[in-house]
Structure 1
Amino acid sequence: MGRSTDPKRTSLFSGILILFTIAHFAHHLLAASLYPLLPFIRNNFKLDYTRSAGVVSAFSFANGIGQLPGGWLADRIDSRILIALGISGVALAGILIGFSQTYVMLLVFLVLMGALGGGYHPSAAPTVASLVEPKVRGRALGLHEIGAGVAFFIVPVIAAAIGASLGWRVSFIALAIPTLIYGVVFYQILRRRAGSTKARQVEIDYHDETSLTIPGRIRRLVAFLILIVASGAIVHSALAFLTLYIVDELGASEQAAATLLSVMQSAGLWASVAGGYLSDRLGKVKVVVTINLVTAACIYLLTHASFGVEIGTFLLIIGICTFMRLTVSEAYIMEYTTKRRRSTVYGIYYFSMTETGAVLAPVMGNMIDHFGFHVSFAVASIALVSVTLICSLFLWRSRE
């Protein structure tokens, strides 16, 4: 199933695509609970800020590194195994986290959870895209992306509620058990759907063969990856300090800052499909360039907006652009990579997105310490525009 679970195309919003969307939700369920449970973990182990950051970094770093071997393996073994590990394997690690009695045990199991989840995206994205006709590929990937959007929108509230009443360990275990069950059931569904070994290896992908004959394909693919990775890292490095800006500069409460973040995350409930639709109709490069320019403007205007509706509107627009960008990126990679190397390229993409953002965040923090939020956000906005314009020169004549 590394390239397709079935030789026949399926329609958009079919049962298997809905199941993949739920699978994506399940994959992110425990990761989405980590941030809201961090205060409970900090209090339990009496951690300072540095060691508290280590809790999040342990998972994020391992998950980012895990994308590389995950993508490489997905091109060489049955990717259903990696999808199952990305759901049930993550759930097993989540149960172990629930039984952690020391800080070191917690870090070890967080690393395990991140590593086991590394193979999901490089396996699931090309599989979802191969299930539908090329003309609706962006919309199918957008539908799949909704699963992650829903997870990061509603799971923090559920996890925090369980953590407050029963403890953070129970919260991890309670969320992990249904995740584990779904992963096993979904794997069995994919096995039955695959049919014979010969059928699993069939993929009707005439559109890919046409795309791969376009001159300069590799150059455009590299330029597009640089554009997406750099722009995503710039945006996330700025947004990492957003709650601090809202609290420290605008004088809002922590709860109000968290509410505004949920407004931004709410875009994940629908913007992914909208981004896929626009990329299918207008072209992927045009959509990404437009999204980046709109995002740059919003980042700059954040420090000039008043608390409430103004800043909430800019955050919602940034959220819409972020989820759209993810969908368009996956669709472009699918179109401009060979079947034998597709998951490997996805792995490189997800790894670069995760680790580059982690590197730029301290740079942004140091800039804020020395020059303040207004200058730092303006620099981020200018950098985003510059990267977009430079890379677009290489992509302008892309034939989509």
Structure 2
Amino acid sequence: MGTSSTSATVRRTERTTLTLLVGVFIIDYIDRVMIAVALPLIGAEFGLSRTTQGLVVSAFAIAYLIGQLPGGLLADRVGARPLLVISLVAWSVFTAATGFAPGLAVLLVLRALFGVAQALFPGASFKALAERTTQAGRSRGAGLILASNSVGAGLGPLIVAPLVVAAGWRHTFWIVAAAGLIVGIALWKLLPPPLPRALTEPEGLPEPAKVPVSRVFRNGLVIRCALMFAFFNMLAYGMITWVPSYLVEAKGLSLVAAGVSAAIPQLVNAVGVMIGGWLMSRWFDRDARRLVVPALVVAAVLLVPMLLAESATMFTVLQTLAMFFSALASIGIVGLPLRVLPRDLVGSGMGLVNTGGQLAGVLAPLVMGWLADRFGFAAAFGFLAVSTLAAAAISLTTRSQRVRLGDPVPVKDSVA
């Protein structure tokens, strides 16, 4: 009777937690990508070059990058629940404030504050996942969270583009901000308490409180995953930022049509993440390289004919295929640290990994904007092929099998 009751509690806790986190991540990415959809109108209103438009996106990314490690450390210290709600409410406030921006300077400041607010969320969300799922459920949950990122990135253009056309870009930011505040209230009221530690920690793992945080930051797997994530994420950030503008300017699509075309690859990407997670758990868990390297090489190769595509339809088809194959590799890069880190250090470890991933958010918009201004969009998208191959090369030299943090140390010796 007790075992049956415990199993029911675990299932209910896992389902509720994942439903809430997936929902918030979808809102997170809708908030994040709508700047790209509105960028042509913002650029026209403020008279911004492509390089400066890239800077608007990078202002968020720079703050988001800097905030990853502090956000992860805070999650481990103050707990996931309060940080999740504070982050969501704060970024919704700054989203609404963006709609009042009178010019470039204020817009840059608001996008940076928006980045700080969102930077608190990833570490707290992965900590909430680790505290409220079993080891088996943790990997599945990570896959759903990563897939929800792509769902949000895909739904963003579909929702935002018609709103921008109908209501203007300023009103669109206010509407999405209101939705974020509502979701924040739901998160605070419905997030269940953590499961007992015995149900969530890996078997045989040493007492997590006795493992120093400094060991996480020195762990070779975590560092390599952060570096791979940096190159890997160039493709996602580059596509999110510049595909709508490319389709409007180079292919002559309307803003709404460009939004639909930009959404399709992101939604297919979500399917690719889930398939990649299944493939990892089924056949590639012992050596992720066997999935990651071929998938990324195929993705990079597909970008070449995409660059040469004359029609918007063919461009979208090839972009969709490239992002699908890239998505197959995502769990192999991001998921492993979640499986080897104790739950008390998940926030810190994933903060470091996500720092690498968000470095792409700083570099990709700026580098691609500069390349587009100087050499055209072909050079800008070619940069994504090179960065994707770089991620494959790092993966090829990375042995991720059975990596552990090592034996516990006394608390008094836990400071590096």
Q: TM-score, normalised by structure 1?
A: 0.80
Do the aligned residues in 2 keep the contact of 1:8 with 1:204 (CA within 8 Å)?
Answer: no
1:204–1:383 distance in 2 versus 1, CA, 3 Å? closer
Equivalent position of 1:278 in the other structure = 279
Match of 2:392 among 355, 366, 388: 388
State the shift of 1:175 in Å: 1.4
Letter in 1 for 2:202: Y
State the shift of 1:274 in Å: 1.9
- 2: distance between equivalents of 1:386 and 1:93? 35
Do the aligned residues in 1 keep the contact of 2:63 with 2:116 (CA within 8 Å)?
Answer: yes
Do the aligned residues in 1 keep the contact of 2:261 with 2:316 (CA within 8 Å)?
Answer: yes
Equivalent position of 2:67 in the other structure = 66
Letter in 1 for 2:226: L
Equivalent position of 2:409 in the other structure = none
Letter in 1 for 2:116: A
Equivalent position of 1:355 in the other structure = 359
Per the alignment, in what secondary structure is the counterpart of residue 228 of structure 2?
helix
- Structure-to-structure mapping, 1:14-53, within 5 angstroms: 14-44=15-45, 46-49=46-49, 50-53=51-54
Equivalent position of 1:218 in the other structure = 219
Equivalent position of 1:156 in the other structure = 157
State the shift of 1:310 in Å: 4.4
Letter in 2 for 1:82: L
Equivalent position of 1:331 in the other structure = 335
Do the aligned residues in 1 keep the contact of 2:98 with 2:111 (CA within 8 Å)?
Answer: yes
Do the aligned residues in 2 keep the contact of 1:136 with 1:277 (CA within 8 Å)?
Answer: no
Equivalent position of 2:200 in the other structure = 204
State the shift of 1:11 in Å: 6.6
After superposition, the CA RMSD in angstroms is 3.8
Per the alignment, in what secondary structure is the counterpart of residue 398 of structure 2?
helix
Q: TM-score, normalised by structure 2?
A: 0.77
Unaligned runs of 5+ in 1: 1-5
Equivalent position of 1:177 in the other structure = 178
> 1:67-110 CA distances to partner (integer Å, 9 max, x unpaired)?
22111111111121221123222112222223444543333322
Give yes or no for the alignment of 1:293 onto 2:293: no
- 2: distance between equivalents of 1:96 and 1:377? 32
State the shift of 1:143 in Å: 1.9
Per the alignment, in what secondary structure is the counterpart of residue 10 of structure 1?
helix
> 1:197-252 CA distances to partner (integer Å, 9 max, x unpaired)?
xx677763124829x99xxx933333333233223336755886656776787x55
State the shift of 1:115 in Å: 0.7
Equivalent position of 1:112 in the other structure = 113
1:163–1:248 distance in 2 versus 1, CA, 3 Å? closer
Do the aligned residues in 2 keep the contact of 1:88 with 1:181 (CA within 8 Å)?
Answer: no
- 2: distance between equivalents of 1:374 and 1:208? 51
Equivalent position of 2:307 in the other structure = 303
1:73–1:47 distance in 2 versus 1, CA, 3 Å? same
Question: How many percent identity over aligned positions?
Answer: 20
Equivalent position of 1:194 in the other structure = 193
- 2: distance between equivalents of 1:283 and 1:108? 44
Unaligned runs of 5+ in 2: 1-6, 212-217, 405-416
Do the aligned residues in 2 keep the contact of 1:300 with 1:378 (CA within 8 Å)?
Answer: yes
More moved, 62-71 vs 10-19: 10-19
1:341–1:34 distance in 2 versus 1, CA, 3 Å? same
Per the alignment, in what secondary structure is the counterpart of residue 262 of structure 1?
helix
Do the aligned residues in 1 keep the contact of 2:94 with 2:113 (CA within 8 Å)?
Answer: yes
- 1: distance between equivalents of 2:331 and 2:42? 33
Do the aligned residues in 2 keep the contact of 1:98 with 1:173 (CA within 8 Å)?
Answer: yes
Give yes or no for the alignment of 1:318 onto 2:318: no
- 2: distance between equivalents of 1:287 and 1:89? 38
Aligned length, in residue pairs: 384
Equivalent position of 1:75 in the other structure = 76
